Structure 1
Amino acid sequence: MKKLKLNGAILLTLGIAGNAVAQNDFYAGASIGQASIDACSGITNCDDEDTGWKIFGGWEFNSHLAFEAAWVDFGEVDGSLDGSKISAEVDGWSLAAKGTLPLNDQFGLFGKFGMIMWDVEGGGAASGIDDDGSDLLYGLGAEYMFTDQFSIVGEWEWYDIDEDVDLFSVGVLFRF
């Protein structure tokens, strides 16, 4: 009798989990925009803006909650330090919870909160410098759905990578 109850509980749990997965949407997309890295303290001729981009994917539990993972490339910061050219490239993997407020069938606003595992590699006179870590991220954005599978997204994300890093981007999102 105990074995029957245990088997019944396992089958019920698998049935609920299987039904939950069948009702959820997975999505993938890519964005491109302007990255700004606040790292010019003491650097002359500093260019702290570059093209940033990301590739992302997520799992929507419902129309209000999703989890999203992304590869983010913030581009390069460069300038001069004591007359020598220096540069640094910044990128990383992120994981965030995404809360969405649907305003109608096509348009919604969202917020994100999560973590980024980042890597910074130096170039020029800063060659050999390699730093990494994990820090917080948050963001705000909007999504417009053209169809049930295709959307355009615009967002601002802030990353606490030693210095402040911002990414303003526009991209596409595909649900499957």
Structure 2
Amino acid sequence: MNKTKIIGAILLTLGLTGNALAENGFYGGAGIGQATIDACDGVTSCDDNDTSWKIFGGWEMNANIAFEAAWIDFGEISGSVGGSAVSAEADGWTLAAKGILPLNDQVGVFGKFGTIIWDVKGGGAASGTDDDGTDLMYGLGGQYMFTDQLGIVGEWEWYDIDNDIDLFSIGALFKF
């Protein structure tokens, strides 16, 4: 049995057609942005903004539905409590469903909803503090494709990590 027949049988088993995989597929990218962590209650001289970055990858099931995973470094917040310097760094893994509305061949807008598995580590007077968990996330964004494979994406995402985190980012997108 040749590879085409084997792949066709696998796709039929998954409920997909060969055309769906040929027209839509895997993508990946990286982004950089600004994270704001709402955690300054009781903290003086609080700096709750930092540069954030992420790497992401996903699979477009069709023109309107995708699934995306990412690793995000939210950066660090810092301040002082009772005269002692404190800081915290946050990062996490996300998995989200993504609804896409193509406006034309190059431009699309999207919304996403999913979950984040996060980790926060304390520094300074909070050194040794470590917290983690799983919470909800959602976001809105848009993308512009320069070619069939290379594009740019901008988005806002919200994470419900003990204290809310907002992330505004811009990144490069590559479709395989």
TM value normalised by structure 2:
0.90
Aligned to 2:10: 14
- Cα distance in 2 for partners of 1:74, 1:40 equals 15
Q: Can you give the 5+ residue segments of structure 1 that lack an aligned partner in the other structure?
A: 1-10
CA contact (8 A) 2:24 2:63 kept: no
Aligned to 2:168: 168
Deviations 1:82-121 (A, max 9, x none): 0000000000000000110001111010000000000000
- Cα distance in 2 for partners of 1:167, 1:75 equals 11
The alignment status of 1:30 with 2:30, answered yes or no, reads yes
Identity rate, percent: 69
Cα distance, 1:24 vs structure 2: 3.2
The alignment status of 1:74 with 2:74, answered yes or no, reads yes
The alignment status of 1:131 with 2:131, answered yes or no, reads yes
Cα distance, 1:14 vs structure 2: 2.7
Aligned to 2:147: 147
- Partner secondary structure for residue 126 of structure 1: coil
Aligned to 1:108: 108
Partner amino acid, structure 2, of 1:157:
E
1:15 to 1:107, Cα distance in 2 relative to 1, 3 A? closer
Partner amino acid, structure 2, of 1:55:
I
Q: Can you give the 5+ residue segments of structure 2 that lack an aligned partner in the other structure?
A: 1-6
Structure showing greater Rg? 1
After superposing on structure 2, the runs of 4+ consecutive aligned residues of structure 1 that deviate more than 4 Å are: 20-23
- Cα distance in 2 for partners of 1:37, 1:15 equals 43
Aligned to 1:7: none
Cα distance, 1:23 vs structure 2: 4.6
- Partner secondary structure for residue 10 of structure 2: helix
- Partner secondary structure for residue 144 of structure 1: strand
Partner amino acid, structure 2, of 1:14:
I
- Cα distance in 2 for partners of 1:39, 1:130 equals 15
CA contact (8 A) 2:73 2:91 kept: yes
Aligned to 1:8: none
The alignment status of 1:121 with 2:85, answered yes or no, reads no
Cα distance, 1:22 vs structure 2: 4.7
Aligned residues: 167
Partner amino acid, structure 1, of 2:138:
Y
Aligned to 1:5: none
- Cα distance in 1 for partners of 2:132, 2:88 equals 12
1:22-101 superposed matches below 5 A = 22-101=22-101
